Amino acid sequence: MTGETVIVRVGAEGGNVTLFGRKKPDQQWEFRRAINDSSLSMLYEEEDGPDSSSQTLPEFVWTTSWVGAVALLDRYPWAQLVPLAVHVDFRADVLVEVTRRLLAGTSSRARTQMDRWLAVCSSQ
């Protein structure tokens, strides 16, 4: 198998969430999520939010579908975090998912965040 590559990386103060991908021998993608978390858990007000940690937490749960990959990200408010990187082959798919999550609201914050995603997806 080929090595892992960053598909989506988002950041927050003190941490980031990364969706990694790799191509299997049949050229199909598979995905996993990893978290470097020292403060992401503060984004959650519920008691059942992610555990707080100051270290990288590798998550070796792989999924072979884009829907599954997005579900891995959806454990966090990823579309609302700072977009850092988007793999060129997944820009359109990521923008569709971000749009679904952000444009449901009409706040200026949602529009500003959408502009950030558009900038990251067009600059790489």
Burial class (CB in 10 A: 0-12, 13-18, 19+), 66: middle
pTM: predicted TM-score of the whole model, two decimal places: 0.79
The DSSP symbol for 3 reads: P
In order along its 124 residues, the chain shows pLDDT tens digits of 558 999 999 998 888 999 999 999 998 999 999 998 765 455 554 444 444 444 444 557 899 999 999 999 999 899 999 999 999 999 999 999 999 998 776 677 888 899 999 999 987 5
- The Cα 86–Cα 91 span in angstroms is 6
- The Cα 37–Cα 29 span in angstroms is 26
Element containing residue 92 per DSSP (H, E)? helix 91-102
Residues 6+ apart with CB under 8 A from 120: 83, 84, 85, 86
pLDDT of residue 63: 94
